[in-house]
Amino acid sequence: MSKLSLVIILAAGDSTRMKSSQSKVLHKIAGRSLIENLLVSVDSLSPENHTVVVGAKKEEVINHLSEIAPKAKTVVQEKRDGTGSAARLALDNHKGDGTVLILAGDTPLLTKQTLQEFLAAHKGDGNKASVLTAQLPDPTGYGRIIRGEQGEISKIVEEKDTTADEKDIDEVNTGVYLFDISVLRKVIGDLKSNNAQNELYLTDAIALINQSGEKSFAILSNDYTETLGINDRTQLAEAAAIMRDRINHEHMQNGVTIIDPTTTWIDAQVKIEADATIYPGSAITGDSYIKANAVIGPRTTLDSCQVEEGARVIESNCTESKIGKAAKVGPFTYLRKGTVLKNESKAGAFVEIKNSSIGEGSKVPHLSYVGDAEIGNETNIGAATVFVNYDGEKKHKTKVGDHVRIGSDTMLVAPVSIGDGAYTAAGSIINEDVPAGAIGIGRARQVNILGWVLRKRKESKSAAAAKKAGAKE
């Protein structure tokens, strides 16, 4: 049997302080929604069942859960009348006994280790009810833990119901509970709304359990920052910074060099091998995978990119691209979805590449656009080359062979093919295939009109300079 019968996640709140058209639990830190971060930690307990209580913006929350936790059940709290009411709705939709973990959907910083230790302490002590608590430097806004003579919980008092003396207590309720389901069922129907909020508080179940002859116990968290909830954008940013530091610390412990962790943002699911180096101002997001000895940054964004061993990506923005071994990117390069840079290739300064493959050892050094192209090995694309891939209705493909030399300021008008070993002359517009070993020239013959400046720009400085150089009309 699983160690945990049921997890109830409370995510029905209106979240008015976020001032957002989106549900609070769908806001993201480290590349995951708040509720997804929580579910990742909760899943380490291998619960048999998940139930999420939804309410405000329920459709979008349910849709999101169908993507990240398709086995989770949802129940709707139409009237947001407190955590006790929400927990009772979830219990009414669950059959069987065992242990239930109840927590809020806006606590994304809880770690697997803390939840595992909380469950182990609850089980080990044979508790019928346990509350995860924390000691906060500033407990304002949190329910205070009132302990009895033997250290058990006497009651939990919400902030708005506290006396002056109770406000000085720094041990607070984190909103994370473990209950014996059969014990909780006996008391949850007796909750009353005689409080400042006129709501049914789940915290009042503790007092009812005590009155029934059972005892409730507080289990203190080792790190209060894990238990912080999110109510507004400031707290969202604070939580994101804590998660950033946690992720960066783990990577550095695993052998990654991060020059300035405070300006480096790495999503939770990113993988980075030892001996990679991340320079300041970089963001690595999505399903990115950075291999050993790669160098990223400074000021680089990678979204779901794979960077092979020894590659360098400097001051660039790359999305859903593959960057080969010892390849070089940047500075000021934009790699768009579908770009593949093979080993030892180069996408240099002010280059944009989209849905294209650049062969081994090939170079697109600077000031060029490459779209919907396949470039062979050891080919050089001259400065200011444009792969003209769009005719206004459809995209077309360009194929460039091995050991090709594309002259600067060439326009390759797709669909077109450049054969192995071929050249194009600088300034050419190429709209027909160039055979292997040929040179394609697509430009008008140059004509010099002598004396034009002296006739048409008589009073100009250019005319004076031309006369001085011996020019005649």
CA dist 286 and 97 (Å) reads 39
Residue from 190, 226, 251 nearest 108 by CA: 226
CB 51 within 8 A of CB 8: yes
Quick check: 76 and 56 in contact, CB under 8 A?
A: no
- Which residues are CB-contacts of 343 (< 8 A; sequence separation ≥ 6)? 308, 324, 325, 326, 327, 360, 361
Give the number of C-alpha atoms closer than 13 A to the C-alpha of residue 468, restricted to the C-beta side. Answer: 6
Residue 237 to residue 362: CA distance in whole angstroms: 42
Pairing of strands 153-157, 144-147: antiparallel
φ, ψ for residue 323 (rounded to 5)?
-115, 115
Contact indicator for 265, 241 with CB cutoff of 8 Å: no
Q: Do 376 and 358 touch, CB atoms closer than 8 A?
A: no
Tokens 């129940």, residue located: 75
CA proximity to 2, closest of 36, 35, 42: 42
Catalytic residue among 27, 50, 122, 366: 366
Assign residue 141 a region: left if phi > 0, alpha if psi is -120 to 50, beta otherwise? left
Can 366 be counted among the known catalytic residues? yes
Active site (catalytic) residues: 366
